[in-house]
Amino acid sequence: MNPVLNEKSFINAGYNEDTMTINGVINKSFFLWLILAVGAYIGWTNPQTTIKLCLPVLLVAFVLCLIITFKKHTSPFLSPIYAFGEGLVLGTVTLFFEKDYPGIAVNAVFLTVAVLFCMLAAFKSGKIRATKKFYSVIIISTLAICLFYLADLLISLFGGTGIPVINSSSPWGIVFSVFVVIIAALNLIIDFDVIQKCASGGAPKYMEWYGAFALMVTIIWLYIEILRLLSKVRR
């Protein structure tokens, strides 16, 4: 499950008369994605400059993510900065994928949007229900993936070649990426469920920003995994 988005996050925020709404989350999401698109455009058109900024921007984005997660009232101010930074990095990274595999950027964006709307349709229609068992399976799977990636990072930092299946374009490497994409997509169902329940429960207005930010975290993860999967297939 998206670590920054869970029902307890909204409950602990308290309640007031000016409450969170689904439309409010949608509006804030559009605003954040517009900012991300601006950052992505800059990253795409100025790779020689932005490539040098990717690591520090990622570190800043990680710190902002932690601050927003633990101090949710900062989300209206810090979420746009986070969105711009992530856009800058995504635009730069996507350009390098595009140079190696022409057309991959458009395909990745299209597939991410398609998966997003398919998950939303499945949630709204009740085809996929966020039951307690569903929550448990997705949370455990997501944590397992995070630990797997962390192990790969640590191995690489100490001079190893990492875990082959993560970056390999072999059949098992592709199967692994497909699995991760599926888990990332199913995290959207949990995100939708939590946002809907908390909007109905009367979470404070600023939590619309937090909900939009948290949803963005999941979609960015989904996009990156789709990009990696497409690159493996093209390889």
Q: What is the pLDDT of residue 8?
A: 57
Residue 9 lies in a domain: no
Q: What is the pLDDT of residue 164?
A: 81
Q: What is the pLDDT of residue 3?
A: 53
Alpha carbon distances (Å) from 121 to 116, 117, 127 = 9, 6, 8
Q: What is the pLDDT of residue 161?
A: 72
Range of the domain at 95: 18-234
Helix boundaries (H) for the chain: 7-11, 22-45, 47-70, 75-100, 104-125, 132-157, 164-167, 171-201, 207-234
Query: In one letter, which amino acid is 22?
Result: I
DSSP percent split of the chain into helix, strand, coil, nearest 5 = 80, 0, 15
The structural domain count of the chain equals: 1
Q: What is the pLDDT of residue 4?
A: 57
Tokens of 166: 């993560």
Using the predicted structure, report yes or no on whether residue 217 has a pLDDT greater than 60: yes
Using the predicted structure, report yes or no on whether residue 115 has a pLDDT greater than 90: yes
**Cα 15 from chain centre:** 27
Residues in CB range of 12: below 8 A, 6 or more apart: none
pLDDT tens by residue, 78-94: 999 999 999 999 999 99
* Helix, strand or coil, per DSSP, at residue 5: coil
Using the predicted structure, report yes or no on whether residue 17 has a pLDDT greater than 90: no
